[in-house]
Amino acid sequence: MFHKGTKIYITGGSGLVGRNIIENQHISNCTILAPKHNELDLTDYNKVYDFINKEKPDFIIHTAGQVGGIQANMSDPYGFFTNNTIMGVNVVRAGKELGIKNLLNLSSSCSYPCNISTPLSEDMILTGPFENTNEGYAIAKTAILRMCEYITKQFEGYHYKTLIPCNLYGRYDKFSPKNSHLIPAIIKKLHDAKINNLSEIDIWGDGESRREFMYAGDFAQIVVDVLENFEKIPTVLNIGLGYDYTINEYYKTVAKVIGFEGNFIHDLSKPSGIKQKLLNIEKQKALGFKCKYSLEEGIKETYNYFINEYKGE
């Protein structure tokens, strides 16, 4: 599938997913287009259209988005909804109008309803309300997912497909408390606590909510595998581990890697978020897509990046 010169346009190429895809050795013979935000504003449709028209990529991988944890989503639902919707619509619409036949859209497990039985299968999309702590983001990601489905069903020869990954972490993650997700937030929190000789750290809620996190390097390899088998891939496909851990277990694993020996105190006045979001990965397993890194191995790689390469946001 990837012959020399295959042209791949990756939106969000400077983000967690984009950078992990770009550094994957299996696409080293491809021409990668990954303009940064200051080079191409995805909220400007005309600029997106002109860029795709000029470059005429063989594939578009849409990874760009405004992302963040519970705090960020709750403080700016308007921004998360508006920016993610506009960027997604612009990229998908321009690709369709310019005849780009292959587009891979990355969605989010936030697209699934809250308070629904797990594991979450692809046919559960839009069968109930979203989690209120990230509703704006969830609506935006679900809208783009549906847009891709409509194009694939309505227009012959177009393969606009969506992967719904579980939570991701790894090299090139964001560690600022303002916009980081759970694992990088824990890494920074416990790293700072160790440096400052703190004896205890607080955990939001009871810490018993369960989360499924995949190392981003593993996810990038699955993305490459998906592109190599693109026509065989379902229109919507979950990508996950098939198992999860409690937030308390993530804290304990990070503490082990970092060497933090303090105590954990639960702040029950803070929200814990949805209790569980475990993905059904039966379709993924049938396609043979697997992960390499264990949780501890992935956290070690991420922590090494944080202390040796991370420059801040």
Give CA–CA dist 243/295, Å, rounded.
11
Contact 92, 159 (CB under 8 A): no
* 26 phi, psi to nearest 5 deg: -75, -10
Residue 137 bears catalytic tag: yes
* Residue type present at position 10: I
* 98 phi, psi to nearest 5 deg: -100, 5
Selecting among 137, 160, 251, 310, the annotated active-site residue is 137
Give CA–CA dist 249/207, Å, rounded.
8
Q: Are strands 31-33 and 59-62 parallel, antiparallel or unpaired?
A: unpaired
Contact 73, 134 (CB under 8 A): yes
C-alpha closest to that of 134 among 184, 77, 211: 77
Tell me the CA end-to-end span of the chain in Å, nearest whole number: 35
Q: 3: which 2 tokens?
A: 């012959």
- Catalytic positions, written as ranges: 137
